[in-house]
Structures are given as C-alpha cells and as structure tokens.
Amino acid sequence: MSFLFPRTISIYRNLPNTSPGVQGYNYPNENTVVSSDISASIQLWKESGSNPAGLPGDVSKRVYWRIMFKGGAGLCLDGDVIHDDLGQRYQVTAAYWNFFGYQCLCERLES
C-alpha cells in the first residue's frame, strides 16, 4: 500500500467449466482468483447528465466506482469481479489499461 494506492483488492474471474462431457453452471462463488493483494485506489464516480424521459420518479444519475491499480495488460477484463479489503465486491464494466496501469469502471454488487 502507498499514499496513492491505500486499498487492497483481489481480482476474480468466472472461468467456464472445461470438464469433457459435463455442462455446468458457473455461480459467483465459483470464481477463480486471478490475482490478490494488489494495491489500489477506489473512488466514487457519478454519471453526469439526466434521464431523457424526464419523469418525476426517475433516478437521474447512476453511481459507479473507479478502481485504479498497477498491473500488466490482460490482468483485468470486462466482467471480472473485484473484492476489496472492506468486503465489498465490484463488477468490472470497463477495464482500461495503459502504461500507468488499470482504470476500471465498476458497479458495486449487493448481496
């Protein structure tokens, strides 16, 4: 951990069942650990703009989370699940990589 990356995360991926002749279902608790103990920064991010319908009961903004961490290309993919050090889980909507590391746009999973 550091000043820029004060949190710790683990990345999980739902891998398909590769047993011959067996068709299984992959549930969230069957995820495989891709990497763990990664220093990260987790920041709240709200979508800007408004709902085009403009109805009184509309929720105008969605809440997303930006998770930034260092890692090589291919470490995190769209659809992966990130677990943080506080027990929260996040579904990766968009994983963007550049030479600084990853910036993942995520939605928090409620259970």
pLDDT tens for the chain, residues 1 to 111: 688 899 999 999 987 655 565 555 555 456 799 999 999 999 998 876 666 666 776 666 778 999 999 999 999 999 999 999 999 999 999 999 998 899 999 999 986
The full set of domain ranges for the chain reads 7-16+27-49+61-109
CA–CA gap between residue 78 and residue 91 (Å, rounded): 8
Look at the domain 7-16+27-49+61-109 and name its fold.
Thrombin, subunit H (2.40.10)
Read off the pTM: 0.77
CA–CA gap between residue 105 and residue 43 (Å, rounded): 10
